[in-house]
Structure 1
Amino acid sequence: MTRTEYRWLLPSAMADPELPGDRPRTRRTVRDWAVDITAFLCAAGIGLLALTAIDADDTTADVFVLVDSVIGAAACCALWLRRRWPVGLAAVLTVVCIVEPVAAGALMVALFSLAVHRPFKPVAIVGAGALISAPLQPLLRPDPSTGFLASVIFGILLILLVLSWGMVVRSRRQLVLTLRERARRAEAEAELRAEQAQRLAREAIAREMHDVLAHRLTLLSVHAGALEFRPDAPAAEIGRAAGVIRDSAHEALQDLREIIGVLRGPGDTDEGDRPQPTLATLDALVAESRLAGMKVVVDNRVADPRGAPAATGRTVYRIAQECLTNARKHAPGTEVSLTVTGGPGEGLAIEVENPAPTEPFERVPGSGQGLIGLTERATLAGGGLVHGPTEDGGFAVRARLPWPAA
């Protein structure tokens, strides 16, 4: 969803979202029962206080006290309908309270529920009706212990307080819903950014491999053209050119297999010819690095390297190859530790760590694409890779890859 679409949706969808309690549920939850019982008890308590004041008045006949009791009990019982018909219930109780003070508690609960579960317009209409009818009840059923003006002011303030409290609760719930919606949108946008970063990393790897392939194929074309235009060249020169062509073709094929393996999606098949590097050839890679003058300490605890899956073994090999290359460029002269552990069912873990260089050296600029490619490769293989500096200033790369049980 674009930002323009989001702005168009914001006024209608987010200005006054429907709250969880706006629509009545078919079955009440434990929380609903607790709230309803509490509301009923509060309304009944206020009604009992009003009934006690009426009963204490000697001028009120017993039959009127009985009628007040029945109407007050009916008003309190009607609160169980406040979730389904909050507007209608509040309007009816507003009319009833004009002549029945015992229903005042039920009216307060109904107005609060109306303000919580309905938008401002119906709340304003019913609330205005309650404010207009506030002076009528003390006029028709005056309280001998309280003056008319004091009763009107107290009734108006109580109605405004209940309505304001309910609207504050609704506003807070709307804020919570809005924040949750924003959090969901932020998570969705983060996932999109992660997917875009992966796509960009794949494109960068593809461009890099394209450059390598172009170089090798160009070299192959040059030597093939020399053989074509100089068929009378000495045998040694022809053999040397043929060897270069053969090596270039073999390396180009390896690079092509490599880019196909890197760019293969998680759901693609993993069949066909595999590249030569595997977990079993890791020792040869270490030996080659040692011949180049590197200090490499190997701790290979894999009992059967040849039994590792081809994709997993190749990924381990490439991780080790890239890490040794980076250590040779950025920390020459240091001792690199290479640890490989795991087995069928528990997966493979590889850790390559080197300390900070102690002697000055000419830094080799790097693009950082190697570690990005390793992370993407490990993710596509079903595992994960983390890298970063260590506490002593060195650098460490740790990866875990799957190895299904036999």
Structure 2
Amino acid sequence: MTGDKAARNPHEFTGRRWYFPSALMHELAPDTARTGSRPRRTARDWLVDFSCFLLAVGVGLLGADALSTNDRVPEAVAAADQVFGALSCAAVWLRRRWPLGLAAVMVPVGFVSETSGGVVVISLFTLAVHRPFRYVLWVGGAQLVLVPVYFWWRPDPDLPYLASILLFVVLEVAVIGWGMFVRSKRQLVLSLRDRARRAETEARLRADTAQRLAREAIAREMHDVLAHRLTLLSVHAGALEFRPDAPRAEIARAAGVIRESAHEALQDLREIIGVLRAGEPDDAGRPQPTLAALGTLAAESRQAGMKVTLENRVTAPEHVPASVGRTAYRIAQEGLTNARKHAPGTEVTVTVTGGPGEDLTVIVRNPAPEGDVPPVPGAGQGLIGLTERASLAGGTLKHGPAPDGGFEVRARLPRG
């Protein structure tokens, strides 16, 4: 793998290459991007950089104090050493932008300047955090090669020659190891953060897909109902056309049917407006359920072994539009299905209330199941579809845990 390719593809797993997004690579290697796109320092970055600067200055002052007490170092060399140390301390503020350049420059500077020792350590740590190990290996190896020469040129008055070399090698290895640990931890955090963002995006896409499929299902269902209304209207209108001499009562009855069918067709048409419909209906001719079919639904659930209590307290149910009754039926049906899957053996209560001039309220509630329930596959797409169906009907639907630990689905539907 070449250098450029390795920088773009820092991880390989089971033969597949994982490509870090540019934002993640930017944070790990900030100087690879253009200057105009570099993120600004955060408060934490300023605090860390200022702490590194103070550390470099403190080490430089200790080095300057050691030079002042060392009679074997000429004053000119000591003054030059301190100048290099001051410039190196100022260069600490460039460590995020040019970690490799700063670390490479500090190799010769640290060799000739004792007051730059703190900056040498900081630059090596920064390089290990922001660059792959091969760069750290080259720079760290160059420093290790110069260590014996440095302590031969400037021996430590308090430590033997070999002890000084060993101490510096241990310090450099520790700094490199710490930097690589920080880098790997950041890579892990950024990778998990990126996975979380991708999971949220995929969840939104799945929800959008579920809503689209719900719209298509509603469109197919409305197509069936609307076709039935219009066909009925056409039949009665045709009868009036071909039987102009029919009795007055029969003509009045046919006209009433035409008016009622046209009114209901208009209501159905209002629901289908704005609904995206794709494909041809695959269930043409299927009878559509209404509010009156709730009793049959409850009976079928009891036959399947469920404990169902139906409380239908709707007054004047004949005045409930068929589309609203159909939506209430679907909500009760989905609620019973979910209760059968996730809370088997519990008693499910289906309550439907509403009078003339009031909204229709549908509540499906079940207590918490006793004991552990085996997990059932499902992603909540049915509830998403119900929410979309209720919204298209002009109402609302809410679902979630009940205060007693059970689960509740509550819908409000306008009666028209």
1:172-202 CA-partner distances (Å, limit 9, x unpaired): 2222322222222222222211111111111
What does 1:3-402 align with in structure 2 at a 5 Å threshold?
10-11=18-19, 13=21, 17-19=25-27, 22-23=30-31, 25=38, 28-216=41-229, 235=246, 239=250, 243=253, 247=257, 250-251=260-261, 254-255=264-265, 257-264=267-274, 296=313, 322-323=327-328, 336-338=352-354, 351-353=361-363, 375-380=387-392, 384-387=396-399, 397-399=410-412
TM-score between both structures, scaled by the size of structure 2: 0.62
The structure-2 alpha-carbon separation of the partners of 1:187 and 1:69, relative to structure 1 and needing over 3 Å to count, comes to same
Pick which of 245-254 and 105-114 moved more: 245-254
Report how far residue 227 of structure 1 moved: 8.2
Q: Secondary structure at the match of 2:19?
A: helix
The structure-2 alpha-carbon separation of the partners of 1:376 and 1:27, relative to structure 1 and needing over 3 Å to count, comes to closer
Between the aligned partners of 1:392 and 1:16, the Cα distance in structure 2 is 42
The structure-2 alpha-carbon separation of the partners of 1:338 and 1:220, relative to structure 1 and needing over 3 Å to count, comes to closer
Between the aligned partners of 1:169 and 1:332, the Cα distance in structure 2 is 54
- AA matched with 2:49: D
- AA matched with 1:89: L
Between the aligned partners of 1:192 and 1:37, the Cα distance in structure 2 is 44
CA contact (8 A) 2:271 2:392 kept: no
The structure-2 alpha-carbon separation of the partners of 1:189 and 1:256, relative to structure 1 and needing over 3 Å to count, comes to farther
- AA matched with 1:251: S
CA contact (8 A) 2:401 2:407 kept: yes
Q: Secondary structure at the match of 1:150?
A: helix
1:234-260 CA-partner distances (Å, limit 9, x unpaired): 9569928x8468626743662454244
The structure-2 alpha-carbon separation of the partners of 1:47 and 1:203, relative to structure 1 and needing over 3 Å to count, comes to same
CA contact (8 A) 1:353 1:397 kept: yes
Between the aligned partners of 2:221 and 2:273, the Cα distance in structure 1 is 13
The structure-2 alpha-carbon separation of the partners of 1:137 and 1:248, relative to structure 1 and needing over 3 Å to count, comes to farther
Between the aligned partners of 2:328 and 2:53, the Cα distance in structure 1 is 71
CA contact (8 A) 1:47 1:103 kept: yes
CA contact (8 A) 2:85 2:116 kept: yes
Q: Secondary structure at the match of 1:296?
A: strand
- AA matched with 1:111: L
Q: Secondary structure at the match of 1:160?
A: helix
CA contact (8 A) 2:211 2:388 kept: yes
Between the aligned partners of 2:78 and 2:68, the Cα distance in structure 1 is 6
1:12-41 CA-partner distances (Å, limit 9, x unpaired): 647972217713658655433322221111
CA contact (8 A) 2:124 2:175 kept: yes
Pick which of 247-256 and 138-147 moved more: 247-256
Aligned residues: 335
TM-score between both structures, scaled by the size of structure 1: 0.63
Between the aligned partners of 1:39 and 1:59, the Cα distance in structure 2 is 31
Q: Secondary structure at the match of 2:25?
A: coil
Q: Give the % identical residues.
A: 45
Report how far residue 335 of structure 1 moved: 7.3
Q: Which runs of 5+ in 1 are unaligned?
A: 1-6, 267-284, 286-293, 299-313, 342-347, 357-368, 402-406
CA contact (8 A) 1:351 1:398 kept: yes
The structure-2 alpha-carbon separation of the partners of 1:193 and 1:66, relative to structure 1 and needing over 3 Å to count, comes to same
The structure-2 alpha-carbon separation of the partners of 1:62 and 1:134, relative to structure 1 and needing over 3 Å to count, comes to same
Q: Name 1:288's counterpart in structure 2.
A: none
1:67-95 CA-partner distances (Å, limit 9, x unpaired): 43333223222222323332222112111
CA contact (8 A) 2:28 2:129 kept: no
